[in-house]
Every structure is written in C-alpha cells, then in structure tokens.
Amino acid sequence: MKIVVVGGVAAGASAAAKARRTNEHAHIVLFEKGSYISFANCGLPYYIGDYIKQRDHLLVVTEETFKKRHNIDVRTNHEVIAIDRKNKRVLVKDLTTEKEFYEDYDKLILAPGARPIRPQMENMNLANVFTVTTIPDVDQIKELLSHRRVNEAVVVGGGYIGVETAEALRNVDVNVTIVELSDRILPGFDIEMTSRVMNTMVKNGIEIVLGRKVVKLFGKHSVKMVQLDDGTSIPADLVLLTAGIRPNIELAQQAGLKVNKGIIVDNRMQTSDPDIYAAGDAVEVTHIVTQKPCWTPLAGPANKQGRVAGANAAGDNKVFKGCLGTSIMKIFDLTLAKTGLTEKEAKDEGLDYEISYTHSANHAEYFPGSRLMSIKLIWEKGTKRVLGAQIVGREGVDKRIDVLATAIYGGFTLFDLEQLDLAYSPPYSSAKDPVIIAGFVAANIARDEANIITAQQLKAALDEGEDIDIIDVRTPGEYDAGHIKNARLIPLDELRDRLGELDKNRTIVVYCTVGHRSYHALRILWGHGFKNVKNLSGGYISWRTI
C-alpha cells in the first residue's frame, strides 16, 4: 500500500505517523510545501515575544527524525498542485528546482491547512509587512527586533493571533496598536467576557482601534505609517496581518471533491472519494452540541483528525466524533477560555437558552493568593443540557474550562454539574469548586428556585424608563465604594427588619458583589410574599463589566 499525505504540520504529520503505526509495511510519502514539518504554529507569537527563547523549541519533530523514526519519505519544499483521481496520482511541484512530476497513491490524505487572510490595502509590497503563520515569517520579524529596528507596530486584526502577537511585542518593548474592523476584539467570545481583557491590554500599553480598517501603507522602502479608512494615520515600523485565516480547499475543489466552507468529510475523515481522506484546518467536522457541520481551525482537533485519517487510510476503522471549539489564551496576567457555544452562537442556532454569571475564587479564599474568575454558563431551557461556557480570570481557568468541556462532551445537564466530585484542597480549589458553584446557580434557576436578570437586561430596562426598585444588599462601605445609580442600600443582615420599606407591588432587583448574598435576599423576600423579585446575575461585578 502506498499512502500520500499532502501537508506536514499538525494534521498531516499526525496522519503520517499514525498511518505508520497502523501499517509498518506501507510506503508513506509526505509532501510539505514549506521548509519545516510539525512545527508549533501556536508558539510563534511566544517566540516573537521572547517567552520561548530557543527557535529549535518550535520544531516539534524535524524532517530527519521523522524519516528515521517513522520510515516516512518526507519531502519539504514540494507543493501538490493537482489531484488526478481517475489515475490515482497527484501532480507535485518541487519548489526548489521548479520541476513537476506525478506521484501515484493507493490512499491520499489531504491536510493542506489554512492560509492567512491578507486585507486589501495600498502599498502592500513595502518591506516589514508580515503574517504570523510560518517559521520564516517569525525569523524575519525576530531579525528586525534583534536589531532594534521596530519601535511602533500595527497589528491588523484582533483575533487570537493578533491579541497574542500584540502582547508578545509589548513584552519586547514595542509600542503596539491593534486595528480591528469589528466592534470588539476576540469576536469568537461574547463581548462582556472580553471587556476585561481589553482593559488589561490598554493598561499594558496596547492601543486598540475598533470599527476601522487599514487602507494604505506609507514608506519609501519599508513601511513607516498606516492610514485608516477615516483618514487617521498611525506610525508603524512593522505591520502584522492577523485578520484571520481561510481554509485551503482549492486543491480538493479542483479535484471535484465535495466542499463547503471546508472540505466535507464523514466521521472517519473520508471525503466524497473513498480513497481520499482529509483532516485539519481545511475540513468541516461535526459540532458536538449542534450536530451540524462546523469549521474549527484549532491544533487539538487537527491532531486528532489527522490521527483518525492516518489510521483509516492504513486500513483501520476509527472515528472522530466532533469538536466543541474548546480554546484558551493568555493575555498578560489574564486567561480567557471557552468551550461549546457562545450566547451569540446559541442565538444564531435558534436555541431556547438561558445564561448565568458566577464569580468565584480559584481556591479557598482563606488561603493566600486567591483570585476571582468569572464564568458564563449557557444551557438549553428544555433539556437543561450545558451548551457552552466562557471563563476569564487569572489562576485555574484552564482546569475549569476542561471540566466544562468534558461535561458538554458527555451531554451533562446542570443537575450533573452540581453533583460533580472534584478535587479539593485549599491551595487548589474550594469545597465548592467554581464549576460546581456555576452548576448550583444555574440549577437553582432551572428549578425556579431563583429568578435572575442579567446586567444587560437591567441596563436595557432602565434605559427604557422601567420603574424598578434596585436594592443593594452589601455593606455601607461596599456601597460607598461604588453602586448602581439610584440603588437603595439595605444590607442583607437588616433586610428582615426593613421589609416595610419595600412595596410588594413593584418590581424589585436585588444585588450584591457576585450574586450570592442577593440570592439570600431574594429567598427572604419571596418568603415574605414579594413575588416580583429578581437577582442580578453576577452582581455588581457583572454590572461594572457591562
């Protein structure tokens, strides 16, 4: 059997290695149009920012090691430019010699990845304009930084790579401006979860320009300035294009394979041609929550897909069940993570959903160094199954998002979350872990044991002039330090003695710092015949964020 793999980074390298482990006697050829295989794409910004000191640490597996360990015919700087399905061969171009030749196959695995979007702007041919996609990209950026030729950088695009690269440049004392076309950075998250991230970036010296695009570059040989569509000019010795990526589906498309946004595959990573498999950033797979096709260009799913494609091409019968889009990122001292659907995605899917906000310490508050993390939980009203979660905080975010990802993968409901048996010791968690707290709060809402209003809903109601009594149940000191406009202070411990101050016929919203004391206040008021009472989800922290 002869297996040809197109693409040698995450999915392609995984596919080739798994094919070898599955079939020791197969002839496996891997073509990669770049100069490196299996390098750490996700580590590129951290190498730019000197978090990763050694360039070699980006090379997960070298070409030579791959050949020796896996007995795979690796050919870098070779681009597959056409597929001849009828004759089961691919047309390959040697990028070093410019010569073209055919390579036959019994099974073909496509892992061509994705390419960066290059926004249209004048004078794109100026020097010092790069993407952050390959090792040669960052080699050139590092060369400029090493000679102190960069004082001002403009990052075009505020997605994952843009934000991570902006932080990396600040870490090496470069002034950075992010220009983002949409009204927010990190549009894959809900906006209230990224506002804290944006504030942290600004505090650390990153300028953020939203709702604008770069239309022109200025400079004699290398870029010196960019111009935005409103006429604003920003100095720039370096421009990085991080406005997203686009799947490389053209090869599959030209071969007549079924494609949509990405290459269409089944759960065995098989394309519409039974002898051709595909994996990685170029394919569409099933979203575990919606059971609909989705394009999720992330390293974790790409590696797993490659593993399945490689095994099946070599004669096995494995499946890839789908993905949740679980992701996490570092922004200075903050961590931001998500899994499953965002609220926007749930709304776009037409799902009947509910949300809650909780703010919990990463470990026991009496143990030194505890820090709050904010969790947004999204669930389906009817089934009570968890649809998605987002977390922002400083410590312990990674642990909690993985628990929630596992819960969603397993089809858990809110009532399962509150029953989880998670590890507890004061340095690591609380007896009520933040995930369990999120489960408690959401389950209370689902059982009609609590009635909530979000900060967004309260703000909209007040803006529309609704007559609402807002009661702050915190202490006088907390109230004086900051409170919702026109809120009345009735500390929780005084509430039962001051019920006569409240009108049972009016709408009442109670709040505290995170929603815990105000939940007690709601239960007290309900117990005394106040029916139209709502608790502000996430308390004053959520209000302040909004």
Task: Just list the catalytic residues.
Answer: 42
Q: What does each C-alpha distance from 105 to 29, 275, 512 come to in angstroms?
A: 9, 9, 66
Q: What does each C-alpha distance from 448 to 343, 380, 418, 441 come to in angstroms?
A: 21, 15, 16, 11
d(CA 30, CA 377): 43
Are residues 154 and 239 in contact, defined by beta-carbon separation less than 8 angstroms?
yes
Q: What does each C-alpha distance from 217 to 102, 159, 279 come to in angstroms?
A: 42, 21, 37
3-state SS assignment for residue 78: strand
d(CA 63, CA 382): 52
Q: What does each C-alpha distance from 486 to 236, 476, 501, 520, 542 come to in angstroms?
A: 46, 15, 15, 22, 17
Tokens of residue 216, six digits: 């022109």
Query: DSSP per residue over 205-226, as a string?
Result: TEEEEES--EEEEE-SSB--EE
Closest CA to 126 of 216, 18, 62, 206: 216
Residues 6+ apart with CB under 8 A from 373: 359, 360, 361, 362, 391, 392, 393, 394, 395, 396, 397, 400, 434
Residues 6+ apart with CB under 8 A from 518: 473, 492, 510, 511, 512, 535, 536, 539
